[in-house]
Each structure stands twice: as structure tokens, then as C-alpha cells.
Structure 1
């Protein structure tokens, strides 16, 4: 039987200074007049309706992503968080993350975010190499990236994530390793380190840059992961590395098939209705202009998709197997409403072939399965 998992809240702010050529998120260049007040009003109106789905449940984590949320002034973020607190039950230990761009930092701004209640800052650095940053179309340089971390610390943030990418245009092993070692020297609590991919609909997909070949990408991955591990950053998910106790609680809730409300232009959500044996995925209208209509009381355009029983095993595994520790055998029926036998015969096949392993009531990828995760998941496609 389905039981309600932990609940999170994702908030999407869709504007950025400039659209990066690799970005396939719902992001838009900043308008001349950023409609902060109207957008916060729309977000809170959206939240009012979303909370009807989860009456009485506590929000454990909040993540404000984008776009570039740090374009907003602290006063707008403060109003947003106060509005959430007035409407919802927010855990006293809630992790509240804001994404920030090094090109938009100021000491007073970062202090304002901290005062407003942001307790985790995620800085989108991508690289410290000016040549790489230029190729990626970023608006900051390496010096600004370094200063952003200093400013965040001075503003009182003791929980920082640094976003880095690898296999960048014409990047070699030495350059990638320099990026990672520079990040390590800054001593953040968390590092998100992931490979650049060319996503459909992006400028890079239409005009692909020259990326490192597979052998070079593999060498980059091997050497940089060794450096991260040696420095105390444990890989707990495919692209997430953290010091002990500093894993991103919000993202872990995604990966363990938890619930999350999604508000904002293009935001996605997942909601469990245990009593009705239903799992819903939701998405909001992508256009910021259309979304702003909510400030006038217009009903949000929300698409809903019910995750059928036949879809649930793969949906669960696509998230849970991304985590190094895998999942508890008892979590599968609680999160999907299905018996563990719904994973057969693929589960037995993967265990027999050494791609998955069972240990103390948990199921996770073996080292070999971790390297071929896409192939492992493919076995559960029916």
C-alpha cells in the first residue's frame, strides 16, 4: 500500500542574464524590468492551490532554482519565504537552497539571502578556466567565481554547493583536474560534478562544439573522482559528492522517490495520494508571461499525468539506482504500492549477472552495474 513519503517544495525562477548555449532548462533572458513582485505574488497563488493536494503534510526542504534566482533582490526572496511559512508547515530543520550565479553576487545581496532564511547556497561555477567559461557562454570569469565563494562565506553561509562540469569544449585531463582541485581547495560542503551533454533544442545541439573523445572523458572521470575521494568528498549519487552529513537533502528526496510540489513557470512536481492509490506528476505552464497571470487569480495551467502501476517500477528505479546506497527493499512497496515481486524477473537477472547486489535488506548497483547504469535500467523496460 502507498504511504506518503517526505515532502519537498521546488520553486522555479526562470530568468537569467543570458541563455547559455548548453542549457535545456526553462530559462529566459532577463527582461528590462524584472517583475519580481508580480512573480512572487504568482508563486504564492500557485502554492495556495498546490497545498490543497498535501493538506497537513510538512515540507522538509525547499529549493529555489532557475534560471538564476540570485537575480532577485533579497527583499523578494524574504517575501517569498515568509509567504511559504504563513501558508505551509515548514520543518524547523528545513534545508532551504538558493541557486546563485557568480556574475550576480554582491556582499549585501548574499547577506540579505542569508537573513531571509536561505541556509544553503548552490553556486553555478561550471569552470574556473576563463577559456572554458567563454566557450560555455557564461557571464562570469574565474576570478568572479573565486570571489563569489569568499563572499558567500563572509555572508554567513556554512553549507555551500559548487556546480562544476567536465568534458567541456577542447578540455584536456589537466584542465579538468585543475577545476576540481580548485573547487576542493575552496572547501565547499558539497560539489555537483557532471558531464556536459548536448541536449536537443540547445544551441550546442544545433552547432556542436568539439568535445573530448570518450577515452579522454574516461580519464577525466577517473582522475577527478580519485581527487574528490582522496579529499573526503564521497560520491553518493551519479553526479553528487559531499562531505559526511552534507548530502543535499532536497535532491536525495527526488532520488528516493519522495514527493515534491513544483511552483513557478515550467516547474514539475510529484505527489502521492496514498488513500487513492495514485501517483501524480505535475507540470506548470512554461511561459513566464502566461504564468504571471496567476497574480490576477487566473487558474494555473497545470498538466497532470498519473503514474500507472506498469510505469512505477521503472520510475522508481530510474531515481533510486542513481544513489550509491541504492534502496531499501521495504521502501519499494511503500513508495510504489507494489510488491517487490513486480521487479521480477529483471531483478533476479541483474542480481545473477552481478549488475545489482543485495545487502542487509538493501538493493544497489554493484561497481560494474554503476558503470553501466543505463544498461541496468534498460532491463526493466517492458
Structure 2
């Protein structure tokens, strides 16, 4: 994708993963939804699978030299654990978490912990398409053992509930508890600038003592914004999409409307659109967009369409803006969940919350909030972004008609 000569450029997730593997000395823990890292997994012969296959080969080498553990969601009928079986033959260990049985959800989390001092968290699945055919966003933090240890407690929860006869404790033992949350975040320096940081988690049953749940985190970030709330997520649907019967779920939607109306905060939503988009999403988005007309509220919704050639359209489940993040005038939030009710009530996910707005001094580099705002604005004003107005209709391929 081309954004212009002066656009924001960041390291690729492929580069981030390869660097993490290059510095790994003792351990790699990966929490993942599913694995399709090779062409064989998707029944394709696509040259752009080479990055995923390189990462997979490095993981295969690492599994014979250090401790490699993978927590993965129980596969659906269309998914396979073949990649993990190959890694297991080299020494990797796997915990298959049957969230469907435990919470009626899935393990949707995507993060890495390396040597309990480096972490990656973001939207990219363990899928070769996430590196070359799907637009993703994540963060890598190096040399921060305090953050890695805290995220490691969430990984250990997944590890504990892996297996066919596992159960979720009614109360998590004290060794899973955390002191870092919305009320008392971890105070540290990120690239020389003081930061308040914590990890949130979902669902509530996977929040040990002290852990802020992911929904509470998101709502707090929205409520505390004074100038703007920028949201970039693949799906934004204020209902429980996967439950039967479906239920109206207005929690996030209500808070966005409230800050727009009561505090006159600028609210921009950048929502993905592709052939697999849920049609029920767009009436809700049009309702939000309509607020800007009669009330003069500063609310705007845009849809983001990743361009594709005829050949690229043949690659299954690709060419979509898959990121899940929010940035305000104060906070950067990078998550792993889509924004509908099921993801916060039943599905395992994690959010990284970083606030560097309260510092009286800072380094010469950009804060995480500034970096994320720059990415959002690049995408928002790009040719791939189109304004969604209340009267617009969408064709099946997500073009405005």
C-alpha cells in the first residue's frame, strides 16, 4: 500500500517478530488464535507467504534450542494444528485452550513474550497473510522485564486452562494477581519519556485480582479524553454478534456518544470494510455519523478498504484492515479484540494502555500516543478511506454507491 512520500513509516511486524527471535536466549511464549504460517495451510502457492514461512522456520529452529510454548485456541472445523504439531516435533510445547467449552468464546489474543523481558502485542495472527496480505498494527517493547512479567501472568492463565479437562478457577490464586491496573499503572520510561502503563484483559473470568478488564479500560479511556477519540477497528457492532439470540450491547457506543455530546470531544471512527463485513454494522455506524448534522457534534465515520488486484482477491480472508486500536489526546490503546459484545463477555483478549501525557519532561523522540496518532491520521486521510454518510449505501465489495 502506498500512502505518499511524507507518510508515516514504521517497522513491519515481520521485522519485529524476526528481531524478537534473533534476540531470544531462553524462552518464547506465544498466545494465539490459530496458526496458518505456510502456503500448505491455506492451500495456496502464493510467493508472499515467504515471510510467514521464514518466521515459522525460525520458530522451528528456536524450539530445539530454547523453551517455546504456545497457547492456542481450540481449532474450529476449518482450522488445523498442523503447524504446532511440526513445532512439537522440534521440542515446542502447546496448550490448546477450549474457550468454547469454558466461556462460549475463543482465545483471540495475539502476543509474544521473549525471555520475560521483550513483548509484542497487536492484531496480527500467526498467519502468513498477517505479514503481507492483511493490514495489521502492533507494538514491540524491548528490555522491559516488569511489563513482560505482568503479561506473562496472563499467559500463565491460558497455559493453566489448556487441555481437555481444565476449568477456570472461581478465584485465581495469588501468583496470578497484579498490582498494575487502571487505578495504579506501572510507572516506567518508554524511549526516555515517563509512562503509565498497564495490561487489561477479557473476559472477566480471566481477570485475576487487580487486573482491569478490557471493557472497563476502553470506557475509561474514552471518558477521560478531552479533545479527541480516534478508533480504528475491523468490526464495530454494538450487539452480541455470536450469541443466540443476539442482544443489543451499547456500552462503547453510549460512551462515544456521551463524550461527543457532553464534552464536545472529536470522535473519529475508521472501520474496515471487505466482503466478509457484517452488514448489520453499517446501520449503527450511520447512526453515529448522523450525530454530526442536526447537533453540530464532531463525529465522523470512515470506512477503510484495502485495495486488491484480481490475483490478490483469490487469496482467502485477506486484503482487510485488521487493526484494533484507539488513540486519544492522552492515551494510546492497542488491543486484540474487535469491538462487539462477545469479545468482551466471552472471548479472551488483551489490551495495552500507555499514558505519557502527564510527564513534565520527555525525550526528543515521539511518544507512543503521538506515533499512534500519526498512523491513524495517515490512514484517515489516505485514498483508502471514504467518508460514510447517513444516506450512503454499500456494495458487496464495500465501495460507496
TM-score of the superposed pair, with normalisation by structure 1: 0.30
More helix by share: 1
TM-score of the aligned structures, taking structure 2 as reference length: 0.29
